[in-house]
Structure 1
Amino acid sequence: MREALRGLTTRGRSFLAAAAAAALSALILGEKDLLRVAVLLAVLPLLAALYVGRSRYRLACTRSLEPHRVQAGSTSRVVLRLQNLSRLPTGTLLLEDRLPYALGSRPRVVLERLGAHQGSSVAYTVRADVRGRYEVGPLTVRLTDPFGLCELTRAFPSTDRLTVIPQVLALPNVRVAGEYAGTGDSRARSVAVHGDDDAATREYRHGDDLRRVHWKSTARTGELMVRREEQPWESRATVVLDTRAAAHRGEGPTASFEWAVSAAASIAVHLRRAGYKMRLVTGPEADLDASDAGGEGLLLDHLAQVRTAPRVDLGLLVERVRQRNRGGLVVAVLGTCSATEAELVRGLRDSGVACIGFLIDSTTWVNLGQPARGEADEAHEASALTLLEGGWKVIGVEHGMLLPGLWPQVARRAQGFARRAAMAETVSGGMR
C-alpha cells in the first residue's frame, strides 16, 4: 500500500489537496455538504491506490528484432509480445521500451485491457544512422487505474541487441589480381612425361597415411616418400582498414572514416562472395579471419564497432598484415598519408602479393583555402606516387566519390596517378 501511495499521479495528489482544502473550508464555514465532497475527493485516490497495489498481475514479455542486424540508415522492426499469465484481467497498461539516444525517442504504447491468459503484440520501428551495437530494453510496464489517479511501474530485465553495420554497396564484377593464390603441398604442379611413377612427392611426416607411400621414390632416395595430397586451389584476400584518427576528417555519418569503413565492408563482402578466403585487418591487434561459415556476419559485426584510434603505428600494422600472409590480394583503404607513411605501407608489396590501395584525400571533406588546398593536393599526389613506385595500384578517393564507380579501376591499366608516375620516371631517366 505504501508503494501504491507513492505511485499517486499528479491528478491523484491534486485530488488529495482538493480534499484537504474542502475539509478545511467545511470546518471554517460549517458546511456539512462541503465536508462530504472532501471525503469523496480523498477516498477516490485512496481506492485507486488500493486497487492498483492489490493487483497481482503475472505478466510475461518477449521481444524480437526483425532483423537484428541492419545497415546504417535502415530500419528494424521491434515486436513486443505481452502475455497475462494470471486469472485476473489487467487494467490499463502503459508500455515503454528503453532505447539509446541514437535509435530515437522511447516508444510508448497503451494497452487498455488484457483478459485472463490473454496475450497481445505491439510493434514499433527504430532507425539508426550511426554504426554500433545498441541495447534495446528493458521494457517497463506502468499499471494504472481507470481514472489515472495512481500508477505503478514494473520492469522486465531482459534486453536485446541491435547491430547497426556499415552500408554494404553492391560492386560490379571485375577481374582483379591475386585470384589464383593456391594452397596445398605444392603451389606449382606439373605432370611429368614419365607418367605416374614421377608423381609429385615429399618426405614422410609423422601421421601420414602409409597408403600414400610412393615406393619407387623411396627406393631411389633412400628415404620414406609419400605422394603429395592434391588440394583445390583457392584465392585469398586481405582487406586493410586505416584507423588512424589523424588520417580522417569530418564528423558523424558523413565523415571520411565512415566512407572508409563502408568501403572496407563492401570490398570484403564482395570478394568473399566471389570465393576469396577473407581476412580483415583494422589495426596492429585487430586481425579477423572471415573465411569460415558465418564469417561474413563476424566481419560486419566487427566493422560495426570499429573506431579511429589516436595512436596507430603504420609500421606495426604492416608487420601485422605480413604475418600469416600466404600470398593473394591485399586491398588497403587508406586515409591521408604523408610520403614517409606511404613508404612504410609500400613495404607490403615486397612480399610479392598484389596490392591495391584506395587512397582517401580526407582534406576534401573540409573546406581549405589557398594555399592550404594546393599543399594538400601535392602531399596526396606524393604519397600516391610513392605507392605506385612500389608496385601498388592506387585509386584516389575524394569527397563525393562512390565506391561502385571506383571499383572497376582495379582491373584497368595505368591511369591517373599511374600515368604521372610513368611520366616522372621518363623525365628522370632523360635527365640521367
Structure 2
Amino acid sequence: MPRRRTLTLRGTAALLAGLGCLIAANLVGAAILLHVGVLFLAVTAFAVLAVRLPRRSGSVTRQVSTDLLTVSETSRVTVRIALRAPRVPRGLWRDVLPDAVTGDAAGEYPPETGQLSYAITGIRRGVWPVGPFVLRTVDPFGLAQREQAFGETRSVTVVPEVFALAPLAVKVGAAGGTAQTSSSRLGQGSDNLSPRRYIPGDSMRRIHWRATAHRGQLMVRQEEEESSPDALVVLDRSAARWARPGAAADPAFEAAVSMCASVAVHLEQEGYGVDVIDSTGVLLGILRGHEDDRDGLLVSLAMLAPRGDARDLATLVGGTPPGPLVYITGELDEEDAALLRPSGAAAPLLFATGALPGTAEAATRHGWLFAELSDDIAEAWADALPERTSPSRIDPSRTAPRAADVTD
C-alpha cells in the first residue's frame, strides 16, 4: 500500500510560499515579507504537528454477509473498528480491496449512521485479502495529512459461478439418477448433524465447511456414510491444454472451472452421487447430498490453476465405469480426442474450450457427446445433451463397459 506524503498540495504550496517570502525579504529588505514568510512556515509546522502527534490505536473486525463470494455475486461487508484516541478524529476511511473484487469501500469518518459497511462484487475466483482499514485525517487548514492503517486483513474466498443447466434426460448409473435408490447415502437433512473439532487422522472429505468458516477452526461431520459414486466429473487442468498463467485470468480456464462446478452441482441435484477429480486423479470434491459438500467443492475449485500432465482417462475411471462421465478440457485436436475413450460410461459428455478441426468428429466416433465450451455455460451443456444430437449416439441401457471401449 503506497504511503501518502505528509504535506498536501496546499501544504506544499504554503511551505514554498514561506520560503520564497524569506528569500525575497532578505533580498529587498522588506520586513513585511519576513513576517509573512514566518507566518506561512509556522502554520505549516502547526498543521504537521496537529496530524502527526495524536496517538491512535485500534482493532478492526469484518463480517461478510456470505461465507463464500461467487463471481458476479454481491455481498455486504460490515466493518467494526474500536479506535482508541484522545478525541474522535474526522477524516476519510477506506478498506483496501484486491483487484479480484470491486466495491465502494470508502466514506467519511465517523459515519453518520455509526456503522461502516459497503458492498463488494466478486470478479476473479481465488482467496484474496481485504484490508487493512485506513483512516486519513487532515488538519483544519488542509495543509497536512496522515494515513494510518488499523487491524489485520480478512480473507475472502471468491468461488466460480454456478449456472443452472438443463435436465439430463437419460437417467443412468448405479442409482439410476435418484438418490432414493441408494440406501447408504445420507439425505438432504443430514447436514443438521452437530459438527465436532477436527482430529488428526480425520478424512478431509468430512470437513464441515460452513462450521469451519463460522468458528474459525477445522470442523468435521460426526458421521458420514460412504457410497459408490455414480457420476464422475473430470477437469483437465494439464498445463499443455491452457495458456500460460499470467497476471490476468485465462477466460477459457475460468469457463472450464465454472462448467465443472455447474455440472457437478447439477448432477447432484438430479440425484447422482458425484466425484470430481482433476486430470491427475486428485480428488477435488465429492457431492453426496450434504449441504456443505457443495461449499467444499467450490473452495477447492477457487484455488485451482493449470499444472502438470494428464493421466490416461481409463486409469482415472478405474474398473467400474460411472453413469454420466463429464470430461472438461482446453484446446483439443483430432489426435488427442481419439485417445480419449469413455471407458464404458453410459452417458459420456466431452467439452473443450478450443476444438481444432476434426476434434468433434473424432470424439463422436468414440461415443462422446461433444460440445465446444464458450462463455455461455448453459448453452454448451444444452448442445451436448442427447435430445440435441442424434439418438443413436447414446444408449440408456449401456450400463456395463464394452470390451471395444476398454481395449481400443
TM-score by length of 2: 0.70
Give yes or no for contact 1:348–1:355 (8 Å, CA) kept in 2: no
Match of 1:170 in 2: 164
Greater CA deviation, 292-301 or 73-82? Answer: 73-82
For 2:139 and 2:361, locate their aligned partners in 1 and report how far apart those are by CA, in whole Å. Answer: 71
Residue number among 263, 267, 275 corresponding to 1:271 in the alignment: 267
Match of 2:351 in 1: 359
For 1:254 and 1:28, locate their aligned partners in 2 and report how far apart those are by CA, in whole Å. Answer: 65
Q: How does 1:327-406 map to 2 (within 5 A)?
A: 328-338=323-333, 340-346=335-341, 348-349=343-344, 353-360=345-352, 362-363=354-355, 376-386=356-366, 388=367, 393-397=368-372, 399=374, 402-403=377-378, 406=381
SS at match of 1:348: coil
Residue 148 of structure 1: how far off its partner (Å): 2.1
Residue number among 143, 153, 160 corresponding to 2:147 in the alignment: 153
Residue 410 of structure 1: how far off its partner (Å): 4.4
Match of 2:277 in 1: 281
SS at match of 1:120: coil
Give yes or no for contact 2:79–2:115 (8 Å, CA) kept in 1: yes
Match of 2:136 in 1: 142
SS at match of 1:264: helix
Match of 2:286 in 1: 290
Residue 239 of structure 1: how far off its partner (Å): 0.9
Greater CA deviation, 243-252 or 333-342? Answer: 243-252
Match of 1:221 in 2: none
Q: How far does the alpha carbon of each residue in 1:239-294 deviate from its partner, in whole angstroms, 9 at most, with x for none?
A: 11122344458997784433322221111112223443321112315313424642
Give yes or no for contact 2:174–2:322 (8 Å, CA) kept in 1: no
Residue 71 of structure 1: how far off its partner (Å): 2.5
TM-score by length of 1: 0.66
Match of 1:31 in 2: 30
Match of 2:210 in 1: none
Give yes or no for contact 2:132–2:153 (8 Å, CA) kept in 1: yes
For 1:54 and 1:329, locate their aligned partners in 2 and report how far apart those are by CA, in whole Å. Answer: 68
Match of 1:243 in 2: 237
For 1:124 and 1:341, locate their aligned partners in 2 and report how far apart those are by CA, in whole Å. Answer: 48
Give yes or no for contact 1:271–1:278 (8 Å, CA) kept in 2: yes
Structure 1 residues 153, 321: closer, same or farther in 2, change over 3 A?
farther
Greater CA deviation, 136-145 or 247-256? Answer: 247-256
% same residue:
26
Q: How does 1:109-128 map to 2 (within 5 A)?
A: 109-111=107-109, 113=110, 120-128=114-122
For 2:97 and 2:123, locate their aligned partners in 1 and report how far apart those are by CA, in whole Å. Answer: 14
Rg larger in structure? 1
For 1:413 and 1:153, locate their aligned partners in 2 and report how far apart those are by CA, in whole Å. Answer: 60
1:146 is aligned with what amino acid? P
Give yes or no for contact 1:60–1:83 (8 Å, CA) kept in 2: yes
Greater CA deviation, 405-414 or 150-159? Answer: 405-414
Match of 2:40 in 1: 41
Match of 2:216 in 1: none
For 1:232 and 1:18, locate their aligned partners in 2 and report how far apart those are by CA, in whole Å. Answer: 79
Give yes or no for contact 1:57–1:84 (8 Å, CA) kept in 2: yes
Residue 168 of structure 1: how far off its partner (Å): 0.9
CA RMSD of aligned residues (A): 3.8
Higher helix share: 1
The alignment of Structure 1 onto Structure 2 pairs a total of residues equal to: 341
2:119 is aligned with what amino acid? T
Residue 178 of structure 1: how far off its partner (Å): 0.8
1:354 is aligned with what amino acid? A
Structure 1 residues 59, 334: closer, same or farther in 2, change over 3 A?
closer
Q: How far does the alpha carbon of each residue in 1:334-379 deviate from its partner, in whole angstroms, 9 at most, with x for none?
A: 4454455345431632xxx43422333614xxxxxxxxxxxx4324
For 2:392 and 2:306, locate their aligned partners in 1 and report how far apart those are by CA, in whole Å. Answer: 27
Q: How far does the alpha carbon of each residue in 1:165-218 deviate from its partner, in whole angstroms, 9 at most, with x for none?
A: 222111234453115277789xxxxxxxxxxxxxxxxxxxxxxxxxxxxxxxxx
SS at match of 2:21: helix
Match of 1:205 in 2: none
Structure 1, gaps ≥5 residues long: 1-5, 186-230, 364-375, 420-432
Give yes or no for contact 2:369–2:386 (8 Å, CA) kept in 1: no
Match of 1:101 in 2: 99
Residue number among 77, 80, 89 corresponding to 1:91 in the alignment: 89
For 1:23 and 1:337, locate their aligned partners in 2 and report how far apart those are by CA, in whole Å. Answer: 75
Greater CA deviation, 232-241 or 132-141? Answer: 232-241
For 1:406 and 1:336, locate their aligned partners in 2 and report how far apart those are by CA, in whole Å. Answer: 17
For 2:140 and 2:392, locate their aligned partners in 1 and report how far apart those are by CA, in whole Å. Answer: 74
For 2:333 and 2:125, locate their aligned partners in 1 and report how far apart those are by CA, in whole Å. Answer: 29
SS at match of 2:370: strand
Give yes or no for contact 2:165–2:381 (8 Å, CA) kept in 1: no
Q: How far does the alpha carbon of each residue in 1:138-177 deviate from its partner, in whole angstroms, 9 at most, with x for none?
A: 2222232122222222212411222222221112344531
Give yes or no for contact 2:91–2:135 (8 Å, CA) kept in 1: yes
For 2:353 and 2:126, locate their aligned partners in 1 and report how far apart those are by CA, in whole Å. Answer: 25
Structure 2, gaps ≥5 residues long: 185-224, 395-408
Match of 2:197 in 1: none
